[in-house]
Structure 1
Amino acid sequence: MTKKKLNFCFKGSRDYIHGTDIFNELKNCFNDSLNYENTMLDLSFHGIAKKKLDIVEDNATDAKVVVKFYDTNDDKKTYYLVENKDDIVCRYDYAENKIVELSKIDLDLGKINLNKDTSYSLIENIVALNKSLLENMFKEAFGKWYFTRLQLKKIPLNYYLIRLEFKSNFNFKLTKTEIFLDNESLGFIYFSLV
């Protein structure tokens, strides 16, 4: 059963729906039903979406994205995002380098910080920072970095300082980075090198 049709534009020069746009669209879609401070999130990407997506509640083996919301009572709601046949016909500019230019990186400690406003969303900042951290830490690695999973202890409404700390690399199939907002651990972001 289709819960909702989602609308997307391509970000920058990409020919696939960017994970940050999926996160932001889900946040908008569920805005009225989420208790942000008491909702944990597990968002995982199972493929690249090049067409528009629908949210369905039934388990979908062809899902490009799976999102799970948990509340403080451990009640879980799972939704699946599946491609439909509708083409994406729009595109918008995205100056990812603006985020990176405002950040400070410490390769010896595997950390990157952002303490300035970029005008981009929280998830856009986090993804751009993590990509920059990984590209600088693993310059010899060949391929393209993809945002593959996000685990949050809560969905923040406000934030100021963002700090990412690299935690582990599973042979580039999966990297794990811890997210800190205002010096409090928020969760983890995972990337894969393809």
Structure 2
Amino acid sequence: MHSIELSLGFKGKRTYVHGSDMLNATMQSIMDHTPHARIEKLDFKIGTMTSHLLNCCWWPRSTPQAPAGKDIANFTFYLDGVEHEGRLTQAEGLAEDRRAYDESLIESNCRYSDARHSISLTNMPADFSSIEVLIYLNKALHLKELCLPTGCQWVFCRWESPKWPLSHDLSGVELTIEQTLGTRLSRTCIELGAEQIGTIYFSALKVD
């Protein structure tokens, strides 16, 4: 089993670790450990929000492991054709770092289509990761297309993609909500050109 403590912090005024940072840090750790490996069939699920530091563990699925600590997220992927699974678990201590995060820089580069019920990106903004941009676009699309239950907010809870990493230039990417599961869970298709590059799930989370 491979294990590493992730270096995570907060975005803007948020008091929880953003899901995009969990996903990016996890996959960067795996790529750093196996820099030339092929990563495919990624499925990353966030179970709960947290403000804590996180440990990231992964292993071949043929040799099951049980890392200690409260589960925050779990994931599966193929590494050079070998199926793996992993967990993010809560570590000792709270995240402390904080960085500015201005989503208006993404907003100014997105375009909503009422006719297509979709949202697209005109130009890739600088200094944002691909997953940060996709999460923002999906949030904007949800606020246009879906009725948010009272006292809730849309949060990123799951990512699926046939391969990783994503292209850094997502100019022209288009998102379309393809299914709603009740009033609290949705699935969005992400296409770049003629290729589906991923699927993103949002959950309507109750806000205290």
User: Do they superpose with TM above 0.5?
Assistant: yes
Map 1:93-172 → 2, pairs under 5 A: 93-119=100-126, 120-139=128-147, 141-142=149-150, 143-155=152-164, 156-160=166-170, 161-172=172-183
Question: Which letter does structure 1 place at the counterpart of 2:105?
Answer: K
Map 1:39-78 → 2, pairs under 5 A: 39-57=40-58, 58-59=65-66, 62-71=70-79, 73=81, 75-78=82-85
Deviations 1:67-121 (A, max 9, x none): 2112573x21111001112111121111112212210111342211003021111
Work out the CA distance in 1 between the residues paired with 2:16 and 2:25. Answer: 15
Cα offset for 1:46? Answer: 0.6
Displaced runs of 4 or more, over 6 A? none
When the two structures are superposed, what TM-score results if normalisation uses the length of structure 2? 0.84
What runs of 5+ residues in structure 1 fail to find an aligned partner?
A: none
Work out the CA distance in 1 between the residues paired with 2:78 and 2:120. Answer: 28
Cα offset for 1:190? Answer: 0.2
8 Å contact kept, 2:39–2:77: no
- SS of 1:64's equivalent? strand
Identical positions, percent: 24
Change (3 A) 1:93 1:158: closer
Of 140-149 and 53-62, deviating more is 53-62
Deviations 1:129-183 (A, max 9, x none): 0000001112554311110000001122444321111101112321000011233
Work out the CA distance in 2 between the residues paired with 1:68 and 1:44. Answer: 9
8 Å contact kept, 1:102–1:114: yes
Map 1:74-85 → 2, pairs under 5 A: 75-85=82-92
Change (3 A) 1:37 1:182: farther
Considering only aligned residues, what root-mean-square deviation do their CA atoms show, in Å? 2.1
- SS of 1:117's equivalent? coil
